[in-house]
């Protein structure tokens, strides 16, 4: 059985080669890849059979990294992140330095700061953001635990993290808020 550090090293090796992983996040199990690698992001879209116009979100390990990936961070974002009592994805007006396919048609990008141990440590060591999209084929139910991930999805990635696989905790997706540069807030999902 791998320990968390072995899992992180194995995942890093795959991510650095442009590969895909299945990994635990602060919400549900996700398919991940280097969020700055266009080819890797294309592979995620193909695996999920996801429509071109549906953007995917990005995980980062610290709010301090937001300015690297968002052209202008609305001032309210810092308060929302600090006050969030559950995982919160914020859709920002204009993403940058990320795979172009991740951006919405209006160049917006959904970013969440993870506090979950594995994903946080992985991103800290990778030193880049990760794509985080539910480990399912588009249109099918999101897996609430590892055991609900289909073999079709598992066989489409290059590495599956061992850590937390045996937990039977039913996880939920994050809340989603759209935040405009003028600090207008639109709640997408509570």
The structural domains of the chain, ordered by start, are 4-189 (3.90.870.10)
Neighbours of 4 (CB within 10 A): 15
- Helix-helix angle 4-16:117-126, to 10 degrees: 40
In whole numbers, what is the pLDDT of the chain averaged over residues? 93
Residue 182, token pair as written in the block: 């003028």
On the CB side of 90, how many CA atoms lie within 13 Å of its CA? Answer: 30
Residue 50 has pLDDT above 90, yes or no: no
Supply the pLDDT for residue 2.
61
Interval 137-190: pLDDT, tens: 999 988 878 999 999 999 999 999 999 888 877 777 789 999 999 999 999 988
CA 186 to chain CA centroid, nearest Å: 20
Extended strands (E) in the chain = 21-23, 30-32, 57-60, 88-92, 109-113, 130-134, 159-160, 175-179, 185-189
Say whether 9 sits in a helix, a strand or coil.
helix
Interval 82-106: pLDDT, tens: 999 899 999 999 999 999 999 998 9
Supply the pLDDT for residue 124.
97
Residue 110, token pair as written in the block: 């959904």
Q: What is the average pLDDT across 31-50?
A: 96
Residue 1 has pLDDT above 60, yes or no: no
């Amino acid at each position: 059985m791998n320990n968390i550090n072995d899992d992180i090293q194995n995942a890093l090796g795959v991510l650095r080669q442009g590969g895909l992983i299945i990994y635990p996040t602060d919400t549900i199990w996700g398919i991940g890849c280097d969020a700055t690698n266009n080819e890797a992001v294309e592979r995620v879209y193909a695996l999920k059979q996801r429509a071109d116009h549906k953007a995917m979100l990005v995980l980062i390990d610290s709010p301090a990294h937001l300015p690297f990936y968002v052209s202008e961070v609305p001032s309210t974002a810092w308060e929302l992140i600090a006050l969030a009592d559950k995982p919160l994805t914020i859709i920002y007006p204009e993403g940058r330095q990320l795979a172009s396919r991740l951006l919405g048609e209006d160049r917006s990008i959904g970013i969440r700061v993870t506090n979950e141990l594995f994903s946080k440590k992985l991103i800290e060591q990778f030193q880049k953001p990760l794509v985080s999209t539910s480990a399912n084929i588009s249109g099918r139910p999101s897996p609430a635990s590892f055991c609900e991930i289909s073999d079709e999805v598992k066989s489409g990635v290059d590495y599956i993290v061992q850590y937390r696989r045996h937990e039977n905790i039913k996880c939920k997706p994050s809340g989603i808020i759209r935040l405009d540069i003028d600090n207008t807030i639109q709640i997408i999902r509570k």
